[in-house]
Amino acid sequence: MSDGIHLTDYHNAVIDWITQNVDWLQAVQYYPEIQTELPAPCAFFGVEDWEMSESQPMNGMLAVDLNCKLMVVFGVIDPAYQLEVRNAAMALCIKLQDQRFGLPIEPVVLQGAEPDDFQPELDDYAVWSIRFMQTIEVGEDFYKPEGIIPTTVMVGYSPDIGTKNEDKYEQVVPSGLNTDN
């Protein structure tokens, strides 16, 4: 058990994952706030909105379904830019499907991709939007254990118990078990 994901941490994890796993993108940024010419191809990531998830964790945290959008942006100089931006969007869909971005969250569920003509600041570029949903938990876990959490559990059976009989104990939970997942 752990505390929930903060939206800033989620944004950073997605941006970092895309930057590390999609080497043909020249830049990956948050929401498009264009002030200079873009280094295309590039991508913009944003959480559009969220809804309460149907399944709740019952531990004081709130599960929300994030509706996300990744915009892939290409320049229009190359005569094949329309084909290139579509191929890029498809390649990103393949990489994104079932991705967790290194976080203890539900995997990405792709919803679709289409040309994006609704960003006036990107009118000089070819833009496709990839829409996906991802469920995360936010807030604090009321039942999060305090103090040191054991990573190995051993059991002894009477009368062979105590420090003199530790070599007779049986391990019931493996060493190094990650209790956060």
Q: In which order are the strands placed within the sheet that holds 42-52?
A: 27-29, 42-52, 62-75, 125-138, 109-115
Q: How far is CA 134 from CA 61, 74, 81, 140, in A?
A: 16, 26, 30, 19
Domain with CATH 3.30.2000.10 in the chain: 7-138
- For 7-138, which CATH superfamily applies? Phage tail protein-like (3.30.2000.10)
Q: Which residue has the higher pLDDT, 85 or 180?
A: 85
pLDDT band at 35 (very low <50, low <70, confident <90, very high): low
Instruction: Name residue 126's amino acid.
Output: A
pLDDT tens, 88-144?
999 999 999 999 999 999 999 999 999 987 777 777 889 999 999 999 999 877 766
